[in-house]
Amino acid sequence: MSDATEPRATGRPISKADEKASMPASLRGTTTGVGAEKATIANRADGRLDRRGFLHRSAETAAALSAAAAAVSMPDANCSLQAAERRRDRPVRLGVVGGRFGAAFQWHEHPDCIVQSVSDLRPERRDRLMKVYGCPRSHESLEKMILDPSIEAVAIFTEAPNHVRHSVAALEAGKHVVCAVPAAMTLEECQRLIEAVERTGLTFMMAETSYWQQPTISARKFYAEQAFGTLYAANSMYRHPGLESLWFENGKPTWRHGFPPMHYPTHCTAHLIGVTGERLVEVTCHGWGDDHPALANNPYNNPFWNETAEFKTDRGHAFHVEVWWAGAHRGCERAEWYGDKMSFLSATPYGQGPMLVRASQARERDSGGFDRAAPKLERYQQPEWWRTDLLPEPLRHNSGHHGSHTFITHEFIASLMEDRRPAVDVYEAVAYTAPGIVAHQSALRGGERLKIPQFDRPGRQS
């Protein structure tokens, strides 16, 4: 059975035999009548949406993108009807925690969301959140915010080691949660998070940017159309040289000091799991460190700047992952997807644009004079999916991490409005996170091949 027809659990991209789409129904960008209610509560700042630039795009380009967006996101009629029947008639009242990364989203622009309050332990960061989101209310801490009965969902952008503690506290206080990556720090925390979601029956979504990068959306479209044929391998690179600039603040170490690279795997694992739905079941990983003084005495006892892993999937496919904090390389978050009919390479940081490689009958000779296949190379014009009706109109503008932030904003709010699982729900979040935890253990053991435990919902099929 080929990749494109294997059954997968709902909540991830589904084959065309099961669904027409490789995205949740919400991404059609429909809105409800709650926008008028929201408008009476908070005014929008000017200039966030470059409508003039959008409208001056040619009608032909707009039509082409809209048609492609429909191919990516269109649900079947039954799914649309069910979502319409479940759709709530009031906006989501959200609390935002974490005044650094938490200020980089568009909650205040979404027609179905009201930023009810913000929180950070630092007063200056609370002030920043209040200014960004036009919110007059704040709480001194997450612990105080989750006691507020007017808040029904919380966006958590706190330190990675606190994600599970903060998420579980919010869930147990009756709040839906969207949380920054990674979902957890240990396998035990992965289980604890899943149990909290199952116990409370509330929504948890991980705010993984790579799932919503423009190239990843394209890859899901190609996969749904079976354009790859059998997608037998993928490579993903998250390279962030110079990250140690965030390790210390005012002479004191931050939570990022010495953070193990493979404990931050989700920018890579989303590139495969978020496209095909398969699971990572085995890994061998190698780390590189140079005994640099900056690594000394870090709280994770991590000796590595960089970690490079080779994963095996539950379909027997190969997945190469690099998470690098140092070295002579340019930063990037990118992927390459390899199939027996077509491959897709996203843009590199060295000037090569996105490419499609198609199998062909043509032949050529290599530098040694030997005959080989000559695949067809095509430049790929990357669509700006954020311009399409995958998003509500106020969110159709570029945003952080390859245009992903507006998609994260919309997916969380839409999942609550439509009473459905978000694309990166708790099971997907753990499927992205746990393999990196095990990979780091492999690196500490000199590259020992290790099995990766699975935490999937009951009844999932690969």
* Residues 352-369 pLDDT 10s: 999 999 999 999 999 999
- What pLDDT is attached to residue 433? 98
Contact criterion met (CB below 8 Å) for 147 and 124? no
Write down the H helix ranges in 139-186: 142-145, 163-172
Give the domain ranges of the chain.
3-207+389-417, 211-386+424-451
Instruction: State pTM to two decimals.
Output: 0.84
CA distance 315 to 132: 45
For 385-431, where are the E strands, in sequence order? none
CA distance 50 to 53: 5
Pull the structure tokens for residue 23.
Answer: 């995205």
CA distance 134 to 107: 10
Given CATH 3.40.630.10, say whether it is the number of domain 211-386+424-451.
no
Region of 178 on the Ramachandran plot (φ > 0 left; ψ -120 to 50 alpha; else beta): beta
Q: How confident is the model at residue 82 (pLDDT cuts 50, 70, 90)?
A: low
Q: What percent of the chain has pLDDT over 90?
A: 79
CA distance 390 to 66: 8
- What pLDDT is attached to residue 459? 81
Superfamily of domain 3-207+389-417: NAD(P)-binding Rossmann-like Domain (3.40.50.720)
27-75 pLDDT per residue, tens: 433 444 444 445 444 333 333 344 334 334 444 444 455 545 544 543 4
**Residue 322: closest CA among 312, 313, 311, 338:** 311
Contact criterion met (CB below 8 Å) for 264 and 270? no
Q: Cis (ω within 30 of 0) for the bond into 182?
A: yes
Pull the structure tokens for residue 2.
Answer: 């080929």
- What pLDDT is attached to residue 5? 32
Contact criterion met (CB below 8 Å) for 73 and 80? no
Q: How confident is the model at residue 10 (pLDDT cuts 50, 70, 90)?
A: very low
291-317 pLDDT per residue, tens: 999 999 999 999 999 999 999 999 999
**Least-confidence region, from 216-220, 232-236, 273-277, 399-403:** 399-403
175-201 pLDDT per residue, tens: 999 999 999 999 999 999 999 999 999
Q: How far is CA 196 from CA 129, 186, 190, in A?
A: 28, 15, 10
CA distance 111 to 109: 6
Pull the structure tokens for residue 222.
Answer: 């190609």
* Angle, CA 407 vertex, CA 397 and CA 346 arms, to 5°: 85
**DSSP secondary structure letters along 240-304:** -TTGGGGSEETTEE-TTTT--GGGS-HHHHHHHHHHH---EEEEEEEEE----GGGTT-TT----
